[in-house]
């Protein structure tokens, strides 16, 4: 096959993949790798397999990519990125570590590993590749910013603040890094009770985030999307669970482990509760796994779904969850902690009719403030008003679903959990059909070895604290414009 004909076929395979004609795309990729057994092509082929729902084939192809070009760090990076996209953090970390080990003088490889460890692990682990990064290029903006974040997480607040202010004074060239520096500085200012300065730093960070996109267009699209979800959910009758049960009776369902969803509005304490429950030996819990997004999120709950399709979705979901967890699910209750699927709860219930639902709740004002402080690409550009409107939307969806007949659910308040972990944790544990286990008392010790997103790692690897309860009062004057938006939520959820 000559090069021009090969490129034509490769472009055709990519086009088929974009069109989601995955069977034909896979056939074409299979022929292409025979002609050109290159690592990068095997990575692409694996991505197509993943989109088709065949995670086992995808992993075999990625292993093949590594074997045919074992010394190619770029291929190893690509595989790590694929694992990162689907939330298999442990595997992504392993591939980043492999790349860093192969090329100890490669700043990109060392920084990728440091960033991944900072995202899902302890500061101590991230410090090792970070030290190498500083040895290779101590003036690098991204390296200095991440180093400051690690200092802040180790409570070296003065050192972190000096580093960030020095960088911002000198000028940070990369807009994303400059934005993150302001977010980090805001965290430090909050911890040192300089609340007005913290809010000023956040305002600057938000302004920078908006410069990289058409914020107005993004917010309009978000509003339209919310309207669609709300309309679809509210159109479903209160007895919809009975209808779905009759169309997908237990006798035709594939056997599955008991599944529970831990959701709720973002920054409402779901991570803490997940770690308490996940410390139980009979619970297989994961933090923001991609299993739901990759298998169930697009399930159409307004149209009939064949039994065979529902069973395929069940199997794919559990396989993806098990892959993310890296251990067997046999004999355990699957606990999927993820705020995002809260609004897609109907899809979850359509596929898993026996789903148990735990909803984490927190004072809306504290939740919004906490979210405003987080550096997230999906919401960095949103002003307080938009965050409040989105919060109200999530609460509205939940309150609508909560009225459905036959729904198995319980709500867990963050304030109650931090006040008495055992009492509230035991109640949630019993909701799952289990008795409290001694390992749950020191849940934070178990979490030292578990991948945890950076926004929560330092909070759930040590005993609980209550300083975040009522934190919004420190920023009351800044939150004043959005309090009317949150007031109905406060009343409906029982916060005064």
At residue 236 the predicted structure's pLDDT band, cuts being 50, 70 and 90, is very high
* Percent of the chain whose predicted confidence (pLDDT) is above 90: 75
pLDDT of residue 388 exceeding 90, the answer is: yes
pLDDT at 451: 54
Strands 259-263 and 333-337: parallel
pLDDT at 446: 67
pLDDT of residue 43 exceeding 80, the answer is: yes
Candidates 421, 316, 415, 426; CA nearest to 360 is 415
Task: Give the orientation angle of helix 175-191 with respect to helix 195-211, to 10 degrees.
Answer: 160
pLDDT at 71: 82
Strands of the sheet with 356-361, listed across from one edge: 283-287, 333-337, 259-263, 356-361, 409-413
pLDDT at 1: 58
Q: Which tops the pLDDT comparison, 266 or 339?
A: 266
pLDDT at 249: 95
pLDDT of residue 447 exceeding 80, the answer is: no
pLDDT at 479: 97
CA distances from 377 to 18, 210, 391, 463 (A): 24, 11, 17, 29
pLDDT of residue 339 exceeding 90, the answer is: no
H or E stretch including 413? strand 409-413
Kindly state the DSSP code that residue 254 receives in the 8-state scheme.
P
pLDDT of residue 101 exceeding 80, the answer is: yes
pLDDT at 458: 54
Task: Give the max Cα distance, the chain.
Answer: 72
User: How far, in whole angstroms, is CA 476 from its chain's centroid?
Assistant: 29
Q: What is the radius of gyration, based on Cα positions, of the chain?
A: 24
Partnered with residue 262 across adjacent β-strands are 337, 358
Alpha-carbon distance 401 to 414, whole Å?
21
Look at phi and psi of residue 280 and say left if phi exceeds 0, alpha if psi is from -120 to 50, else beta. beta
pLDDT at 454: 44
Alpha-carbon distance 237 to 243, whole Å?
9
Strands 333-337 and 283-287: parallel
Q: What is the pLDDT of residues 116-145, one digit of tens each?
A: 999 887 889 999 999 999 999 999 999 999
User: How far, in whole angstroms, is CA 192 from its chain's centroid?
Assistant: 28
pLDDT of residue 294 exceeding 80, the answer is: no
Mean pLDDT of the chain: 91
pLDDT of residue 165 exceeding 70, the answer is: yes
Determine the CATH number of domain 215-493: 3.40.50.300
Q: What is the pLDDT of residues 237-274, one digit of tens each?
A: 999 999 999 999 999 999 889 999 999 999 999 999 99
Candidates 70, 73, 95; CA nearest to 82 is 95
Tokens read off for 177: 């890094």
């Amino acid at each position: 096959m000559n090069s021009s004909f090969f490129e034509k076929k490769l472009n055709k395979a990519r086009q088929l993949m974009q069109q989601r004609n995955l069977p034909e795309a896979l056939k074409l990729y299979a022929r292409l790798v025979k002609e050109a057994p290159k690592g990068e092509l095997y990575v692409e082929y694996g991505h197509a397999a993943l989109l088709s729902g065949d995670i086992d084939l995808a992993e075999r192809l990625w292993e093949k990519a590594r074997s045919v070009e074992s010394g190619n760090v770029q291929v190893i990076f690509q595989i790590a990125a694929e694992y990162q996209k689907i939330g298999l953090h442990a595997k992504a970390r392993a591939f980043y570590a492999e790349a860093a080990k192969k090329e100890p003088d490669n700043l990109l490889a060392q920084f990728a590993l440091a960033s991944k460890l900072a995202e899902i692990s302890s500061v101590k682990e991230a410090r090792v590749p970070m030290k190498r990064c500083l040895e290779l290029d101590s003036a690098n903006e991204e390296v200095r910013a991440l180093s400051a974040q690690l200092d802040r997480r180790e409570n070296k607040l003065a050192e972190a603040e000096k580093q960030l202010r020095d960088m911002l004074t000198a000028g940070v060239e990369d807009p994303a890094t400059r934005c993150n520096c302001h977010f980090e500085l805001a965290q430090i200012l909050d911890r040192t009770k300089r609340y007005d300065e913290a809010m000023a730093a956040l305002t600057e960070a938000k302004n920078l985030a908006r410069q990289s996109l058409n914020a107005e267009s993004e917010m309009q699209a978000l509003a339209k999307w919310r309207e669609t979800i709300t309309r679809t959910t509210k159109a479903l009758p209160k007895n919809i669970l009975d209808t779905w049960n009759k169309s997908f009776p237990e006798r035709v369902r594939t056997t599955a482990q008991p599944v529970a969803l831990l959701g709720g509005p973002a920054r409402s304490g779901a991570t803490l509760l997940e770690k308490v429950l996940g410390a139980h030996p009979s619970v297989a819990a994961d933090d923001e796994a991609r299993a739901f997004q990759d298998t169930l999120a697009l399930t159409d709950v307004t149209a009939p779904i064949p039994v065979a399709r529902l069973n395929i979705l069940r199997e794919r979901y559990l396989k993806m969850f098990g892959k993310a967890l890296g251990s067997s699910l046999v004999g355990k209750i699957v606990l999927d902690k993820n705020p995002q699927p809260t609004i897609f709860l109907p899809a979850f219930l359509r596929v898993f009719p026996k789903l148990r639902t735990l909803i984490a709740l927190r004072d809306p004002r504290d939740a919004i403030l906490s979210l405003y402080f987080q550096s997230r690409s999906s919401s960095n550009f949103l002003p307080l008003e938009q965050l409040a409107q989105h919060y109200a939307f999530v609460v509205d969806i939940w309150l609508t679903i909560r009225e459905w007949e036959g729904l198995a659910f319980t709500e867990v308040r963050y304030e109650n959990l931090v006040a008495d972990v055992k009492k509230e944790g035991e109640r949630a544990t019993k909701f799952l059909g289990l008795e409290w286990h001694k390992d749950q008392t020191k849940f934070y010790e178990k979490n030292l070895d578990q991948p945890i997103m950076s926004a929560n790692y330092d909070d759930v690897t040590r005993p609980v604290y209550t300083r975040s309860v009522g934190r919004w009062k420190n920023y009351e004057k800044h939150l004043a414009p959005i309090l009317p938006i949150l007031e109905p939520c406060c009343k409906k959820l029982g916060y005064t």
